[in-house]
Amino acid sequence: MSAIVNSAGKVVDFVDQRITASNWLKRNIRKVFPDHWSFLLGEIALFSFIMILLSGVFLTLWFKPTMAHVVYEGAYLPMRGVGMSEAYSSTLEISFEVRGGLLMRQVHHWGALIFVAAMSAHMLRVFFTGAFRKPREINWLIGVVLLVLAVAAGFTGYSLPDDLLSGTGLRIIEGGMLAIPIVGTYMSSFLFGGEYPGDDIIARLYPVHILLVPGLIIALVTAHLMILWYQKHTHWGGPGKTNNNVAGAPFFPIYVAKAGGFQFIVMGVIVLLAATIQINPVWLWGPYDPSVVSAGTQPDWYVGFLDGALRVMPAWEFYIFDHPVSMSVLIPAILLPGIILTPLALYPWLEQKATGDTREHHLLDRPRNVPVRTGIGVAFIVFYVLLWIAGGNDFFATILEIPVNWITWFIRIGIFVLPPLAFIMTKRICMGLQRRDRDKVMHGRETGIVMVSPDGEFSELHAPLSQAQAYQLTWHERQLPSDPGPATDANGIPNPNYRAKRAQARLSRFYFGDVVQKPTVQELEAAHHDGHGGSDSARDELPSGQQ
Amino acid sequence: MPRSLSGRPRVSRIGRLLSTRRRHPLAAIAVLVAVLFTAGGAYAALAPSTSQNVQAASSTQIEEGRQLFAIGCSSCHGLNGEGQINANGDVLGPSLIGVGAASVDFQVGTGRMPLAAPSAQAVRKPVSYSQDQIDALSAFVASLAPGPAEPDEEYLDASQGDVARGGELFRTNCSQCHNTTGQGGALTMGQFAPNLTGVEPRHIYEAMLTGPQAMPVFNDATVTPEDKRDIIAFLDSVQNEPDPGGLAIGRAGPVAEGLWAWLVGIGLLIGMATWIVTRSSKA
Amino acid sequence: MSTHNVNPNGDEHAVVPHGEHAVVPADPIADPGLHHDELRLTDVDDKAERRAERQVAGMFTLASLLTVAFIVFYVVVGIHPDNPENGVNIGDVQVSNLTLGLTLGLALFLLGAGAVQWARSLMTSPEVVHQRHELRSDDETRAATIADFDTGTEETGFGRRKLIRNSLLGALALLPLPAVIMLRDLGPNTGGTPAQRKEHTIWAEGVRVLTDVTFMPIRAADLEIGQLVNAMPATFEALPEHGPERINERAKSPVMLVRMLPEDIHVEPGRENWGVDGILAYSKICTHVGCPISLYEQTTHHMLCPCHQSTFDLSDNGKVIFGPAARSLPQLPIAVDSEGYLIAQSDFTEPVGPSYWERTR
């Protein structure tokens, strides 16, 4: 043991004498990382990305990114004699002639699906807990860009094997591009090196997939983590956990062991998936042929919502000076991503408008305590999931044995009806939960024991909460809607900022008008004197053993 | 045509290699499935010899068919297969004049006919007639007017087909509805292209030849008997090919894969995350 | 930061947005302060500690064994056939994938689980609390930084020396242009505009219609009612095997032939002679975003696109009856030659595939 310490000491000494490392290490080696399962979603994304990088490097050793025409003479008999591109034939080679090649292909693909899924889940966690608030807006923006880059990495990777599914995906991209007014045909011509599909596109997507996009992802992930490190992680409030401190386990050794361990767990789970569940069996799809299509043609899940939007959009095309403008393609394929991404990226500032709050926030919100934000989030999830279902409408039609046209119509209507409904329901549920918390604080926990008073009145016995339990339900901020103040001052002179203030107050009322507030000191005392809770109240009770 | 003892058509060269060279981990399940198939297909083993006789249908067979037809089919298709239209102008059953023996063998042999109840589409179900009865019905309908006859055994033998060429033909002509692996798919207004897994080569051939229900016709002039045999060989190969990557999850592509990534992948990892953040059991 | 009222202890954090009007009540419950984690079984019980130690070490050992097993399986489970003629045995690949994946996956998993278990049960881990500091620099530092920046700007004379400034900005603004210009040759330089290249296929007057894959000419008399034929132009066969031309034509020229009862067909004026005895030819390229379609229902004459479910009625000039496509499927006028084979009367009379800006009505 001491030998290890000695050699570690030597390393530290060597580095310290050159770059003063001790100074930095001393401040950081015991850095605090709070523990909560939801804080690990981002780690799943990071660790699956590392797995993707490793397996990806392995795949590049065999993959031939060229559309040169070959007649297959490889090991997979059912394809012998079929004309195909070298990209596809080298994918077959990796699958059937390289030991562990199929495993690494499957690791790469499962890793990619999990990478984007974990990023999405991480983003939802950050949204619902308000972790995007000042000072973390930059990291939120970086996160949005990372999500877009991850989808770009996924889609270019999906396209590389040049199988029937990937080629059909590219064809749809081309169709979307052509719909762009004025420059559409030129964009397509530059991308594909002339007419679709040409024989350039795989060679062009390859550097984007293995160099450009991963390079950007690595750079942004680095920035993301450096900012996280510098700002310290957010944490949940609770006894002793405030906006001015951070409580948790030290970076070294607990966090290093846990995160390091989790890295291997994530890798292990991905490899186990790759070992047992087949993914993207391109040898069954066949080589790409632009005149051929398969029933059940789908993109990977993270592009599914765009494909779904294309599917449910009704036909709409009009002419401007004899030039067609294909809204049935433009809206879902070109405008929709912008319509989703812009408010997503700007959300921290939108909410700041409502709260008028410019302070730093390091305590997370429980989703129930911000019913409007939670409602917006759930409405977005419903919107997204509906589009995702639309993207697999034929798949679901087959599974459920109902006409695909019904699903399309259900989504066409549902996309407008269900998200607002989800918003209202979620907001109501949150308020109900808040009310329950408030009742618990005021009257204690329901025991299920019913008492009959001498007068014959029935009441349920409530057990008081400990101070720690009560604090757990009341540490959050009391968020009140803002008041625009009078339109004119005492002298009848109009306030020049009144309109802006009124607008802000309306937004604030929308956000916080219906929030069920935690009790005030007076309310709490009144409740205790009324006495469901008996004589001893949370305030009277001393915390056991501590302080 | 050589047939194995199990009564199933001889598997292709590749299929044979697969089944004999190595026992893979799912072998037990495969054996179980094979046993079930064998049991179900035992009676089909007798079919080839009788179906050959259809070509030279005797008048007694036609007569037997006429009687069966009158009992089981005429309520919709009319006593002489002329079809029936009800008072509202809806077609109760289409005319069968000229549809040929192949059509009858397909529709009745896959259990699609007789219909259990009117629906968007007739589906495969347990067969209601014995092969002799089906042959008699075929002979009767074939006697009404010339139509596609049942295929020659020689063109149903997957082992003689070219799998790679069959794959190309399948992807060009069939995969748009039936999917590249024959899983089937949705069509308009509740109709669908059925899954082709486990369908008899004879019925695959007859379906192409006659175009049952919504399916278009691919007659022998444009998709030759040799082409059809290649397609049968391809389907045979695809169906008997193990999935080297593990569970096939329906061979259904990205939608199923996405569901698994979220439910199993992310689900499992979140489970691990909740374990990681707890401390071991309290004293 | 000066407008809000958080008291220095951070105990009461009440928001008063835009400050002055609302009175925020105080929090009802005081912070009882951090309560420390209770001791674990492994902290007090030697036996439990030793058991945990064995658990962790066991996982690490198992991981090593599995790593060795991975190497063994890599060597033992071959996938290369003895005779290349026979091709790969897919069962071998299945076994290889399963054994390699299970050993590697479990090795990784156990390595990770061991480390986590070590941290959870054996590492002594008091909960640590660090104070946060406001991220904003203090006013003095900020003022000094701004002063430094101003000094630097002043020293360059960036504000005064307008000639230098403007010429620098001009040079910098132009510099990205070569990077953009150099991308010009991503697209071809000959053969007209991209839109012009889209206007034509290799169909032309008298070109025979051949079955796809097998490339056989098709006699009109051979087609039955309800027939579907996936077809290509005879000129396709002559295209060079290598290079983009062949695959580009496969993206434009494929057609499907269908035959239906002539009385079922509703013919648009001007298309009276485009079919032959109920045989019609339509482009296979969807007018929505270009998926190749041939999901033909012979009973309804509907043609469905599997990508986005646009549905076309082939008995009614390829009109759209459902889904996102806005334009009818282009029809290829066909006829029969002297030997009775189907031929094209001309190229398509409109560009095939999705809409694009330069396309006229």
Which residues in chain A touch residue C194, judged by CB atoms under 8 angstroms apart?
Answer: 185-186, 188-189, 194-195
Q: Which DSSP helix (H) or strand (E) runs through B225?
A: helix B225-240
The Cα A99–Cα A117 span in angstroms is 29
pLDDT confidence of residue C86: 87
The Cα A129–Cα A514 span in angstroms is 19
- pLDDT bin (cut points 50, 70, 90) of residue B32 is low
pLDDT(B170) > 50: yes
- The subunits that touch chain C, with at least 3 C-beta pairs less than 8 Å apart, are A, B
Average pLDDT, rounded, for chain C: 89
Please report the beta strands in A136-184, taking only residues with DSSP state E, as ranges in sequence order: none
pLDDT(A533) > 80: no
Q: How near does any CA of chain C get to the CA of A343, in Å?
A: 23
Mutate to test the interface with B, among A278, A289, A291 (most CBs of B within 10 A): A278
The predicted model gives A228-250 an average pLDDT of: 92
- The subunits that touch chain A, with at least 3 C-beta pairs less than 8 Å apart, are B, C
The Cα C42–Cα C240 span in angstroms is 75
Q: Is C71 on the interface with B (CB under 8 A)?
A: no
Which residues in chain A touch residue C115, judged by CB atoms under 8 angstroms apart?
Answer: 257-258, 260-261, 264
Hey, where are the domains in chain C?
Answer: 41-121, 196-344
pLDDT confidence of residue A11: 85
The Cα A322–Cα A387 span in angstroms is 32
- Window 107-126 of A, Cβ < 8 Å to B: 109-110, 113-114, 117-118, 121
Q: What is the pTM of this model?
A: 0.89
For A79, which of B164, B245, B269 is closest by C-beta distance?
B164
CA dihedral A369, A373, A379, A385 (to 10 degrees): -90
Residue A373, in any domain of the structure: no
A359 contacts C4? CB cut-off 8 A: yes
Confirm if C254 and C248 have CB atoms less than 8 A apart: no
Confirm if A483 and A502 have CB atoms less than 8 A apart: no
Residue A498, in any domain of the structure: yes
Residue A402, in any domain of the structure: no
Using alpha carbons, list the distances in angstroms from residue A21 to A33, A63, A161, A227, A229.
Answer: 21, 42, 46, 20, 17
In terms of average pLDDT, the best of A160-164, A446-450, C13-17, C135-139 is A160-164
Give me the helices (H) in A20-72, please. Answer: 21-28, 41-60
- pLDDT bin (cut points 50, 70, 90) of residue A473 is very high
- Window 147-176 of B, Cβ < 8 Å to C: 165, 168-169, 172-173, 176
The predicted model gives A14-41 an average pLDDT of: 88
The Cα A242–Cα A154 span in angstroms is 40
pLDDT confidence of residue B42: 46
Last residue of a domain, one of A365, A399, A432: A365
Confirm if A516 and A436 have CB atoms less than 8 A apart: no
DSSP assignment letter at C15? B
Long-range pairs of B194-202 with CB within 8 A, sequence gap ≥ 24? B194/B123, B194/B124, B196/B235, B197/B239, B198/B37, B198/B239, B199/B110, B199/B124, B199/B235, B200/B44, B200/B109, B200/B110, B201/B9, B201/B156, B201/B157, B201/B158, B201/B232, B201/B236, B202/B51, B202/B105, B202/B109, B202/B150, B202/B151, B202/B156
pLDDT(A529) > 80: no
pLDDT(C203) > 90: yes
Residues 6+ apart with CB under 8 A from A115: A45, A48, A49, A52, A150, A154
Peptide bond preceding A253: is omega within 30 degrees of 0, i.e. cis? yes
Confirm if A133 and A320 have CB atoms less than 8 A apart: no
A99 contacts C96? CB cut-off 8 A: yes
pLDDT(B116) > 90: no
* Weakest-pLDDT range from A277-286, A359-368, B15-24, C187-196: B15-24
Which residues in chain C touch residue B183, judged by CB atoms under 8 angstroms apart?
Answer: none
Q: How near does any CA of chain A get to the CA of C161, in Å?
A: 35
Mutate to test the interface with B, among A49, A115, A279 (most CBs of B within 10 A): A279
Confirm if B105 and B206 have CB atoms less than 8 A apart: yes
pLDDT confidence of residue B57: 63
CB pairs under 8 A between B and C: 144
Last residue of a domain, one of A365, A398, A426: A365
The predicted model gives A315-329 an average pLDDT of: 92
The Cα A147–Cα A153 span in angstroms is 10
Which residue shows structure tokens 């089944």? B19
Q: Is C255 on the interface with A (CB under 8 A)?
A: no
| Domain that residue A168 falls in | 31-365
Which residues in chain A touch residue B273, judged by CB atoms under 8 angstroms apart?
Answer: 37-38, 40-41, 43-44, 262
Which residues in chain A touch residue B249, judged by CB atoms under 8 angstroms apart?
Answer: 277-278
Residue A417, in any domain of the structure: no
Which residues in chain C touch residue B172, judged by CB atoms under 8 angstroms apart?
Answer: 212-213, 230
The predicted model gives A9-16 an average pLDDT of: 86
- pLDDT bin (cut points 50, 70, 90) of residue B31 is low
pLDDT confidence of residue A2: 58
C117 contacts B280? CB cut-off 8 A: yes
Last residue of a domain, one of A330, A365, A400: A365
Do A357 and A450 fall within a single domain? no
State whether the Cα torsion A202-A208-A211-A213 is positive or negative. Answer: negative
Residue A226, in any domain of the structure: yes
Do A359 and A459 fall within a single domain? no
Q: Provide the number of structural domains found in chain A.
A: 2
Which residue shows structure tokens 């080589």? A287
Angle, helices B100-109/B131-144, rounded to nearest 10 degrees: 150
Residues 6+ apart with CB under 8 A from A435: A516
For C291, which of A172, A188, A358 is closest by C-beta distance?
A172
Peptide bond preceding A135: is omega within 30 degrees of 0, i.e. cis? yes
Tokens of C1: 């930061």
Query: In chain B, whose CA is at the least distance from the CA of C307?
Result: B176
Residue A231, in any domain of the structure: yes
Q: Identify which of A435, A370, A358, A459 has the alpha carbon closest to the alpha carbon of residue A137.
A: A358
B277 contacts A392? CB cut-off 8 A: no
C258 contacts B17? CB cut-off 8 A: no
For A264, which of C109, C241, C353 is closest by C-beta distance?
C109
Q: How near does any CA of chain A get to the CA of B222, in Å?
A: 18
pLDDT(C18) > 70: no
Confirm if B209 and B148 have CB atoms less than 8 A apart: yes
- pLDDT bin (cut points 50, 70, 90) of residue B112 is confident
Q: Is C102 on the interface with A (CB under 8 A)?
A: yes
The predicted model gives C101-125 an average pLDDT of: 94
Do A185 and A293 fall within a single domain? yes
Residue A307, in any domain of the structure: yes
A273 contacts B255? CB cut-off 8 A: no
Residues 6+ apart with CB under 8 A from C317: C266, C267, C268, C271, C328, C331
pLDDT(B72) > 90: no
pLDDT confidence of residue B48: 39
C252 contacts A195? CB cut-off 8 A: yes
Residue A221, in any domain of the structure: yes
**CATH number belonging to domain C196-344:** 2.102.10.10
pLDDT(B26) > 80: no
Do A325 and A465 fall within a single domain? no
Q: How would you classify residue A236: left for phi > 0, otherwise alpha for psi between -120 and 50, otherwise beta?
A: beta
The Cα C109–Cα C157 span in angstroms is 62
For C135, which of A248, A360, A547 is closest by C-beta distance?
A360
pLDDT digits (tens, 9 = 90+) for A349-358: 999 988 888 8
Question: Is C76 exposed, middle or buried (CB count within 10 Å of its CB: 0-12, 13-18, 19+)?
Answer: exposed
Mutate to test the interface with A, among C2, C13, C20 (most CBs of A within 10 A): C13
Which residues in chain C touch residue B185, judged by CB atoms under 8 angstroms apart?
Answer: 306
Confirm if A42 and A122 have CB atoms less than 8 A apart: yes
Do A462 and A328 fall within a single domain? no
CATH number of the domain within which A64 lies: 1.20.810.10
Confirm if B22 and C96 have CB atoms less than 8 A apart: no
The predicted model gives C233-249 an average pLDDT of: 92
Do A356 and A498 fall within a single domain? no
For C230, which of B173, B213, B244 is closest by C-beta distance?
B173
The Cα C357–Cα C258 span in angstroms is 31
Which residues in chain B touch residue A40, judged by CB atoms under 8 angstroms apart?
Answer: 273, 276-277
Do A345 and A448 fall within a single domain? no
